[in-house]
């Protein structure tokens, strides 16, 4: 499913969209279970890395069910703005439900801070130099062309703004590495089959993680796309990593 021609490119996008539309309802639960609840902490580190300050305007690409968008909203506050963009209508529908639930629970109108938009990460519907920062959580791995998508995020961020990707990575230590791949290849699809009756989506998770370049390579691609101060930070022993760069 590499981008060898426009036909394959379409196939990957369509396939990914179908996968996420299919698992949307169970996405958050599966995420919490398979990361042992660590995903929340990882997202909070992404919020810090993108320097989401009060009043900032941040784009959250591939926002899915909106978990990262909500963490960003807490950081930017009522003077700020978060745009959550995703192409899966079912994932966005869950994000919309979360918006309503949080409004009631936190007694705050998150609708004033967060706007959810259906759109394509490969063709962002925004003018150049619009955002103070851009995040993409577990999204890059799903896109049809890494460099093109990073260039597109670079286009919409303001000079001095930071782009942060939080995604699966490649741990270095031998036994830990083997355990990790065994878990992702065997256990997670089994959990998918038992818990959400969808093994295929979680086989895709393994495939996409395997094909995804290492965190060092992603940082190098960020630099090739013209970003400065590119770096990566391994989280939980490198099972996931934050990669960032500044325009
Ligand atoms: C693994 S989910 C990540 C959701 C969320 N960022 C989080 O932190 O949980 C990946 C999301 O990327 C979205 N996605 C994949 N390719 C996309 C594209 N080309 N344009 C927009 N969204 C895309 C999927 O619909 C899905 O919701």
Q: How far is the CA of 180 from the centre of ligand 1 (A)?
A: 23
Q: How far is the CA of 139 from the centre of ligand 1 (A)?
A: 5
Ligand 1 atom index nearest CA of 66: 5
Give the CATH class of 6-246. Answer: alpha beta
138 CB near ligand 1 (under 6 Å)? yes
- What sign does the CA torsion over 81, 24, 217, 47 have? positive
What's the Rg (C-alpha) of the chain? 17
- Answer yes or no: are the C-beta atoms of 135 and 68 closer than 8 Å: yes
| Phi–psi pair at 4, nearest 5 degrees | -100, -10
- The DSSP secondary-structure symbol of 212 reads S
Helix, coil or strand: residue 169: coil
Sorted by where each begins, the domain ranges of the chain are: 6-246
Q: Which of 27, 44, 64, 209 to mutate to test the pocket of ligand 1 (most atoms within 8 A of CB)?
A: 64
- What sign does the CA torsion over 207, 60, 106, 45 have? positive
Ligand 1 atom index nearest CA of 24: 27
Residuewise pLDDT in 10s, the chain (247 residues): 444 334 455 588 999 999 999 999 999 988 898 899 999 999 999 999 999 999 999 999 999 999 999 999 999 999 999 999 999 999 999 999 988 887 666 667 777 899 999 999 999 999 999 999 999 999 999 999 999 999 999 999 999 999 999 999 999 888 888 888 888 888 888 888 888 788 888 888 888 999 999 999 999 999 999 999 999 999 999 999 999 999 9
Q: Which long-range contacts (CB under 8 A, 24 or more apart) does 203-210 make?
A: 204/15, 204/19, 205/168, 208/141, 208/142, 208/168, 209/141, 209/168, 209/184
Q: How far is the CA of 115 from the centre of ligand 1 (A)?
A: 16
């Amino acid at each position: 499913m590499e981008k060898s021609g426009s036909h394959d490119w379409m196939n990957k996008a369509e396939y990914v969209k179908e996968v996420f539309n299919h698992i949307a309802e169970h996405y958050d639960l599966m995420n919490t279970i398979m990361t042992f609840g660590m995903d929340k902490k990882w997202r909070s580190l992404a919020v810090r890395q993108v320097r989401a300050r009060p009043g900032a305007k941040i784009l959250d690409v591939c926002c899915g069910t909106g978990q990262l968008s909500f963490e960003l909203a807490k950081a930017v506050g009522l003077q700020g703005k978060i745009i959550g963009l995703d192409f899966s209508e079912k994932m966005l529908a869950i994000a919309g439900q979360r918006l309503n639930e949080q409004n009631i629970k936190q007694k705050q109108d998150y609708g004033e801070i967060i706007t959810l938009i259906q759109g394509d990460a490969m063709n962002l519907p925004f003018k150049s130099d619009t955002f103070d920062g851009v995040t993409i959580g577990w999204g890059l791995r799903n896109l049809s062309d890494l460099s093109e998508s990073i260039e597109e995020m670079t286009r919409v961020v303001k000079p001095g703004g930071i782009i942060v990707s939080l995604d699966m990575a490649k741990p270095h230590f031998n036994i830990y590495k083997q355990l990790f791949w065994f878990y992702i290849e065997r256990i997670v699809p089994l959990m998918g089959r038992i818990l959400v009756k969808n093994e295929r989506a979680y086989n895709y998770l393994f495939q996409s993680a395997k094909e995804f370049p290492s965190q060092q390579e992603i940082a190098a691609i960020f630099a090739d796309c013209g970003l400065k101060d590119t770096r990566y930070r391994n989280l939980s022993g490198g099972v996931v990593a934050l990669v960032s760069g500044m325009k």
